[in-house]
Amino acid sequence: MMDRTNFLLFMSCSMIHLFISCLASNILNITTDQSALTVFKSQFEHDGSNILARNWSSYTPICNWIGVTCSFHHHRVKAINVSNMELSGIIPPELGDLSFLVSLDMSGNKLYGNLPKELSKLKRLKFISFSFNRFSGKIPSFFEAMPNLQQLHLRNCSFTGSIPPSLSNISKLEALDLTYNSLGGMIPVEIGNLGHLKILTLAGNKFSGAIPASMFNVSTLEMADFSYNSLSGNLPANMCRNLPSLTYFNVYSNQLYGQIPSTIEECSQLHHLSLQLNQFNGPVPKQIGNLSMLVVLYLGDNNFKGISISLFYMTRKFHVGCTCFIIFNL
């Protein structure tokens, strides 16, 4: 009887101890979040909107701070949106302590320096936007350590170097935007391993070499923008065989050559096709006229032959049910 009583007493104490420990842990965690964001705020040399200076206060619960969203279930910070607040400063490593963070948007500010490697601890992140800031150096390779990342937006961030092949390890990635940086070299073949990729925008960089053939096997791809680079080579003869969802394809202002593949009609969902300012040659395939969803077509400033016949054929095809701008600039 005594043994049973002692056992029950032991279990009761254990449960109480566990409850108190969990409660203390939760308090510590939200305190950790607040400390991390307080350090983050202290890095700003300039808060143009003065929102954080006024609102991010120890007298205000962290979950009521402007730009901060907390999880109801865990009572932890799950989203930060401080976009377009005229913030100037660096991102401190303490931001990596926000272990329940799912969404991080710091776009449209004047942040600079390097992205701290401690951000790799944010395993729950699904959305990141650092676009329109003034970072320096190369794109960090630590993004591959974020297994749930779906969208990575690094547009206009002043990054240099090349695309780290390790980005191909972000298996759930759906959108990758590296537009208007100072990136160069070849586009990694490994990017074609992103089996869930829908949006790829690499415009306005210094990429050279061919568009990797692997990119034309990403069956989920909906938008591909390679414009304003120095890419060369041909478009694959079967470029559309595995791109049933492609709606936007732009290679404007590169050094691509060869003929437009006649299989272009297999990209049946295309709305926008821009091949202008390249070195394409040969006839314009009449199969373009079968792209019934096409709205914009740019073909000018190339070396095509037989334009007049193709133009007549295509305008007849596009005349019914389509508002299409066919711009040749010849």
C-alpha–C-alpha distance, residues 82 and 114, integer Å: 18
pLDDT in tens, 120-173: 999 999 999 999 999 989 999 999 999 999 999 999 999 999 999 999 999 999
DSSP state of 138: B
C-alpha–C-alpha distance, residues 132 and 197, integer Å: 22
High-pLDDT (> 70) share of the chain, %: 82
pLDDT of 318 reads 52
Q: Are strands 68-70 and 77-81 parallel, antiparallel or unpaired?
A: antiparallel
- Structural domains in the chain? 234-330 (3.80.10.10)
Question: Per-residue pLDDT for 185 more than 80?
Answer: yes
Token output for 65: 């701070």
pLDDT of 297 reads 94
Question: Per-residue pLDDT for 2 more than 50?
Answer: no
Question: Per-residue pLDDT for 314 more than 80?
Answer: no
Of the ranges 36-45, 180-189, 253-262, 281-290, which one carries the lowest mean pLDDT score? 36-45
Helix (H) or strand (E) holding 230: strand 230-233
Q: Are strands 46-47 and 87-89 parallel, antiparallel or unpaired?
A: antiparallel
Of the ranges 85-89, 214-218, 308-312, which one carries the lowest mean pLDDT score? 308-312
Question: Per-residue pLDDT for 9 more than 50?
Answer: no
Nearest to 167 by CA among 183, 286, 320, 247: 183
pLDDT of 233 reads 96
Q: What angle do CA 45, 182, 222 make, to 5 degrees?
A: 105
C-alpha–C-alpha distance, residues 202 and 225, integer Å: 6
pLDDT of 18 reads 41
Token output for 264: 């272009």
pLDDT of 44 reads 78
Average predicted confidence (pLDDT) for the chain = 87
Question: Per-residue pLDDT for 327 more than 60?
Answer: no
pLDDT of 307 reads 56
High-pLDDT (> 90) share of the chain, %: 73
More confident residue, 27 or 55: 55
pLDDT of 328 reads 55
Do the Cβ atoms of 76 and 30 come closer than 8 Å? Answer: yes
Of the ranges 54-63, 170-179, 181-190, 223-232, which one carries the lowest mean pLDDT score? 54-63
CB atoms within 10 A of CB 248: 18
pLDDT in tens, 265-311: 999 999 999 999 999 999 999 999 999 999 999 999 999 986 544 45
Nearest to 52 by CA among 79, 78, 101, 86: 86
Do the Cβ atoms of 82 and 107 come closer than 8 Å? Answer: no
Q: Which residues contact 324 (CB under 8 A, 6 or more apart)?
A: 294, 295, 296, 297, 318
- The model's pTM is 0.86
Nearest to 156 by CA among 116, 183, 193: 183
C-alpha–C-alpha distance, residues 148 and 99, integer Å: 13
- Dmax over CA atoms of the chain, in Å, equals 102
Q: Give residue for tokens 């053939």.
A: 213
Q: What is the identity of the amino acid at 258? A: G
Q: pLDDT-based confidence at 13, cuts 50/70/90?
A: very low
| SS3 call for 298 | strand
Distances (CA, A) of 67 to 63, 64, 70, 103, 111: 9, 9, 10, 11, 17
